[in-house]
Chains A and B, each alone.
Chain A
């Protein structure tokens, strides 16, 4: 149950697009299409942004999209806005019938 690997931080200017990667193994990200992404503002609970690699829950902006290639999943945010500044966490179901999260990525909107 090793944590998934995410960059510690990413940044971008308003209107730009950014991508956050999430790397695991064949036992988690690469083996299942059960990757999800969460947005977390300081002092708040996480919010589900993407589930099953690329699906958006109702109410989540279509500026958020997800994808996967091999053992790496990605979250792309297009048309960056100030309110997108937050921590982003990826998660995957694993072959041990458990879940594993990444270390989290701090997004800064410049």
Chain B
């Protein structure tokens, strides 16, 4: 079935780096833009970044620009999020989510992973 599975979260010290992964299955991965969305404890959703279906275009929230890098490997059906210089405010559940329609990223996110938790603490 159509599925996204995140991994790579954990407890990390401030200032360190982390790479999250999102493995896709059950659909043609290289036809869809994919997003990262995070949710701090007890808070709402925050869009983080997305990458176009072909990996040629990346977009970031102002709050993470310069520290986060989104990328994808279409040969491995996998999305990545490299997070550098981690801060306490990066503590959240990180979800990857597929866009609803192929090739476009305007129309909402219809498939979500279960999330991976990142905790930034010394």
Chain A interfacial positions (CB closer than 8 Å to B): 1, 3, 32, 34, 36, 38, 40, 45-48, 50-52, 57, 87, 89, 91, 93, 97-104
- How would you classify the secondary structure of chain A's contact residues: helix, strand, loop or mixed? strand
Q: By the criterion CB–CB under 8 Å, are B61 and A1 in contact?
A: yes
Docked Cα-Cα span, A1 to B62, in Å, equals 7
Q: By the criterion CB–CB under 8 Å, are A99 and B50 in contact?
A: yes
Chain B interfacial positions (CB closer than 8 Å to A): 35, 37, 43-47, 50, 59-63, 95, 97, 100, 106-110, 112-115
- For A93, the chain B residues whose CB sits under 8 A away are 106
Q: By the criterion CB–CB under 8 Å, are A45 and B107 in contact?
A: no
Docked Cα-Cα span, A3 to B108, in Å, equals 16
Q: Given that A36-B107, A48-B108 are contacting pairs, would A102 and B47 also be in contact in the complex, using a CB cutoff of 8 Å?
A: no
